[in-house]
Chains A and B, each alone.
Chain A
Amino acid sequence: MANPAIEAQYESAIKDPRYDGTRYALLCDYRYFSGNHAAEIACKEEFELPIDQFGIKEVEVGPFFKGGDETCGENWEWFYIPCPTEIFSKHYGPEGDKAGQRPLACQVEESGTLYYGTLDEMIEKMKKFDRPMVLFQL
Chain B
Amino acid sequence: MAYSKEWRVEREDGTVATRSNTWSPPGSHPVGYGVKVITKDGELIRIEGDDDNPITTGRVNAMNLALREYTYAPSRIIYPMKRAFEDRGKDKWERTTWDEAIDTICEKVRYFQNTYGPESIVCFGGTGREACIFYYALTFSVLQSPNCCYTQSGWSCYGPRCSISDYVLGAGYPELDYAGHLPGSYIDPQYTLSKWVVLWGKEPLPSNGDGFFGHCLVDMMRLGTHIIDIDPRVTWVGAHRGNILLQVRPQTDTAMALGIMNLMFQNDEYDHEFAENWIYGLDEVKARAAEYPVEKVSEITTVPVEAIKRAAHIIGTERPIGWAWGLAFDQNKNGVQLSQAMIILAGLSGSIDRPGGLTLGPPSALLGKWRMNQRGAMSDEVWEKRIGAAAWPGLSTGMATTQPDETLNTMESDEPYALKMGWFNSSNFLTPTCSAQPKRWHKALQKLEFVVIQDITMTPTAMAVGDYFLPMATWAEHTGIVLTHYGRNTVFMGPMNKALTVGECMSDVQICLVFGQRLNPEWYPWYKPADEHKLDWDLLEQATQDFYSDQLKELGYDWNSFQELGIYQPGAHGFEYEKYDKGLLRFDGQPGFNTITGQIEAYSILYESWGEDPLPYYEEPNYSPFSELRTDEEKEKYPLITTSGSRRYSSFHSEHRHVPSLRQIDPWPWVQINPETAAEYGITEGDWVEVYNMFGEARFKAEITPVMKPGILNCAHGWWFPEQDGEEPNLFGVWKSNFNSLVPHMNIGKLGFGAPYKGVMCNARRVRSLDAD
Contacts and interface: CB of A to CB of B under 8 A. Distances in A.
Most buried by B among A35, A36, A44, A63: A36
A107 B51 contact: yes
A71 B58 CA distance: 34
Contacts of A51: 660-661, 664
A73 B239 contact: yes
A41 B661 contact: yes
A72 B247 CA distance: 11
Most buried by B among A45, A51, A107, A109: A45
B240 A74 contact: yes
A74 B59 contact: no
B573 interface: no
Interface string A4-46: 0000000000000000000000000101101111101110111
A32 B218 contact: yes
B215 A112 contact: yes
B557 to A, nearest CB: 29
A108 B303 CA distance: 38
B570 interface: no
Given A45-B47, A63-B705, A31 B215 contact: no
A110 to B, nearest CB: 5
B223 to A, nearest CB: 11
B57 A112 contact: yes
Given A38-B59, A38-B65, A107-B48, A44 B218 contact: no
A104 B48 contact: yes
A128 B606 CA distance: 55
Contact of A73 (B241, B649, B650): B241
Most buried by B among A34, A42, A71, A78: A71
Given A41-B66, A71-B245, A73-B240, A63 B61 contact: no
A72 to B, nearest CB: 7
B246 interface: yes
A56 to B, nearest CB: 12
B65 A71 contact: no
Interface string B42-57: 0000111101000001
Contacts of B247: 70-71
B534 interface: no
A17 B66 CA distance: 37
B62 interface: yes
A74 B238 CA distance: 9
Interface in B243-291: 243-247
Interface in A42-62: 42, 44-46, 51, 62
A119 to B, nearest CB: 23
A76 interface: yes
Given A38-B60, A40-B62, A71-B303, A108 B239 contact: no
Interface string B296-310: 000000011001001
A32 B240 CA distance: 9
A109 B59 contact: yes
Contacts of A62: 239
Contact of B46 (A32, A40, A45): A45
A76 B706 CA distance: 10
Contact of A110 (B47, B205, B661, B705): B205
A47 B344 CA distance: 52
A73 B243 contact: yes
Interface residues of B, number: 50
Nearest to A105: B65
A76 B239 contact: yes
A113 B59 CA distance: 11
Interface in B637-670: 649-650, 660-662, 664-665
B49 A108 contact: yes
Contacts of B205: 34, 36, 110
A74 B62 contact: no
B243 A37 contact: no
Contacts of B241: 31, 73-74
B71 to A, nearest CB: 12
B123 interface: no
A62 B68 CA distance: 33
A73 B227 contact: yes
Contact of B304 (A35, A71, A107, A111): A71
Most buried by B among A37, A41, A109, A112: A41
Contacts of A72: 243-245
A110 B61 contact: yes
B707 interface: yes
A108 B60 contact: yes
A36 B649 contact: yes
B117 interface: no
A60 to B, nearest CB: 10
A46 B66 CA distance: 11
Contacts of A73: 227, 229, 238-245
A63 B235 CA distance: 9
A74 B307 CA distance: 14
Nearest to A65: B706
Nearest to B227: A73
A113 B221 CA distance: 12
A112 B239 contact: no
Most buried by A among B51, B660, B664: B664
A129 to B, nearest CB: 10
Nearest to A37: B62
Most buried by B among A29, A31, A63, A77: A63
Contacts of B206: 36
B649 A37 contact: yes
A41 to B, nearest CB: 4
A65 B247 CA distance: 14
A31 B236 CA distance: 10
Contacts of A111: 215, 218
Nearest to B222: A32
B382 interface: no
Given A34-B218, A104-B48, A107-B51, A112 B65 contact: no
A41 B218 CA distance: 20
Nearest to B50: A107
Nearest to B311: A71
Nearest to A106: B58
B219 interface: yes
A14 B58 CA distance: 38
Nearest to B206: A36
B229 to A, nearest CB: 8
Contacts of A32: 218, 221-222
Contacts of A42: 60, 65
Contacts of A41: 62, 65-66, 661-662
B49 A107 contact: yes
A69 B484 CA distance: 38
Given A32-B221, A64-B706, A73-B244, A38 B62 contact: yes
A110 B33 CA distance: 10
B58 to A, nearest CB: 5
Contacts of B707: 63
Contacts of A69: 307
A96 B36 CA distance: 25
Contacts of B706: 63-65
18 contacts: A34-B205, A34-B215, A35-B236, A36-B61, A36-B215, A38-B62, A40-B665, A41-B62, A45-B66, A63-B234, A63-B707, A71-B246, A73-B239, A73-B240, A104-B46, A107-B60, A112-B59, A113-B218
Interface of A: 29, 31-32, 34-38, 40-42, 44-46, 51, 62-65, 69-74, 76-78, 104, 107-113
Interface of B: 46-49, 51, 57-62, 65-66, 68, 205-206, 215, 218-219, 221-222, 227, 229, 234, 236-247, 303-304, 307, 310, 649-650, 660-662, 664-665, 705-707
Given A70-B245, A71-B304, 18 more contacts: A34-B237, A40-B62, A45-B46, A64-B706, A72-B244, A73-B240, A73-B242, A73-B243, A74-B240, A77-B239, A107-B48, A107-B58, A107-B59, A108-B58, A108-B60, A108-B65, A110-B215, A113-B218
Give me the 3 closest cross-chain CB pairs, A-B, nearest first. Answer: A73-B243, A76-B239, A71-B307
